[in-house]
């Protein structure tokens, strides 16, 4: 029913002044805020605001595997549980986890696993819980980015961070960091993540239409944007430690 009032997509996704509807340039990111250590009982945690997205991530592990038969004798396992709050989207989501949530959980897991040394933790599991409490396009990228922070906060050895972003095409133009409306009304969507230890791609999806030249350009603009995200991740991890140095044991919220 709510569909009736909101899901009227604008005819154009650019304003008269050539900027995007939210005032951004083609290659401009939405405002981002990162914070680590927000969930007291977790082994590591982080919080990310990215435009209107609000996402929590918590890491538990290495710990015993439940159920036991999932354990692997020669390595640890990584399990990611991506969930959206019922109220995080326009039409209330049903409370039980849906297919989409399971699919994104798998994608995020595939994207984080390369940065871990799971072979050092035989028989155990790492569990990452991700809760999207407000969603506005790009939640899989936001989730990947915040989960990497939570892993780092947990002090788990990592080859590097991983950063993710969605680039795409709206009204025929290539842009970075699609907003929710740009994602729905746009022409193409390419979420991508880079693991910094080898500068390779660990998440890649695409829906839309592109030729080979367009693909090359997408990969170029994504890489620029991902470098910015990576810097922010590094700063947020550092500033937390700074904070901790200033007032040992205190945690911000």
Which parts of this chain interact with another protein (CB under 8 A)? 1-5, 7-9, 38-43, 52, 54, 56-58, 60, 81, 83, 85-90, 92, 95-96, 99, 102-103, 106-107, 109-110, 113-114, 127, 129-131, 133-136, 190, 195, 198-212, 215-216, 219, 223, 253
Residue 23 or 212 having the CB closest to another protein: 212
Q: CA torsion sign, 223 to 228 to 230 to 231?
A: positive
> Distance between CA 157 and CA 163 in Å, rounded?
17
In the complex, what is the shortest distance from the CB of residue 245 to another protein, in angstroms, rounded to a whole number?
19
Chain-centroid distance of CA 174 in Å reads 20
Q: How far is the CB of 18 from another protein (least distance, A)?
A: 26
Q: Smaller CB distance to another protein: residue 6 or 18?
A: 6
Look up residue 82 and give its two tokens: 């991506």
Q: Which of 113, 122, 120, 128 is nearest to 44 (CA)?
A: 128
Q: How far is the CB of 1 from another protein (least distance, A)?
A: 4
Nearer to another protein, 7 or 25 (CB): 7
Residue closer to another protein (CB basis): 235 or 252: 252
d(CA 29, CA 51): 9
Residue 163 Cβ vs another protein, minimum distance, rounded to whole Å = 13
User: Which CB sits closer to another protein, 5 or 16?
Assistant: 5
What is the rounded distance in angstroms from the CA atom of residue 113 to the CA atom of residue 158?
10
Closest CB to another protein among residues 113, 171:
113
If DSSP codes are grouped into helix, strand and coil, which group holds residue 185? helix
Query: 166: which 2 tokens?
Result: 């969605």
Could you tell me whether strands 32-36 and 162-170 are parallel, antiparallel, or unpaired per DSSP bridges?
unpaired
Strand partners, 170: 173
Residue 198 DSSP one-character state:
T
Q: Whole-angstrom Cα distance, residue 117 to residue 220? A: 29
To another protein, the closest distance from the beta carbon of 47 in angstroms equals 9
Name the minimum Å distance from CB 26 to another protein. Answer: 20
């Amino acid at each position: 029913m709510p569909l009736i009032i909101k899901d009227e997509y604008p005819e154009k996704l650019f304003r008269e002044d050539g900027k995007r509807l939210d005032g951004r340039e083609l290659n401009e990111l939405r405002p981002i805020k990162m914070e680590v250590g927000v969930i007291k009982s977790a082994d590591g945690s982080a919080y990310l605001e990215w435009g209107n997205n609000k996402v929590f991530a918590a890491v538990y592990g290495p710990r015993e595997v439940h159920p036991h038969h999932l354990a692997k004798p020669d390595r640890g396992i990584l399990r990611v549980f991506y969930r959206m709050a019922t109220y995080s989207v326009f039409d209330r989501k049903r409370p039980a986890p849906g297919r989409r949530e399971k699919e994104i959980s798998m994608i995020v897991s595939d994207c984080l696993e390369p940065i871990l040394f799971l072979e050092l933790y035989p028989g155990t599991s790492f569990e990452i819980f991700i809760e999207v409490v407000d969603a506005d396009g790009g939640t899989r990228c936001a989730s990947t980015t915040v989960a990497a922070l939570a892993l780092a906060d947990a002090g788990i050895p990592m080859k590097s961070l991983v950063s993710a972003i969605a680039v795409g095409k709206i009204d025929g133009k290539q842009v970075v960091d699609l907003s929710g409306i740009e994602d729905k009304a746009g022409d193409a969507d390419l979420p991508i993540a880079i693991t910094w230890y080898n500068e390779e791609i660990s998440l890649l999806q695409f829906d839309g239409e592109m030729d080979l030249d367009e693909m090359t350009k997408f990969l170029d603009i994504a890489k620029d944007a991902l470098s910015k995200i990576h810097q922010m991740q590094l700063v947020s991890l550092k500033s937390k430690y700074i904070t901790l140095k200033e007032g040992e044991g205190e945690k911000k919220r």
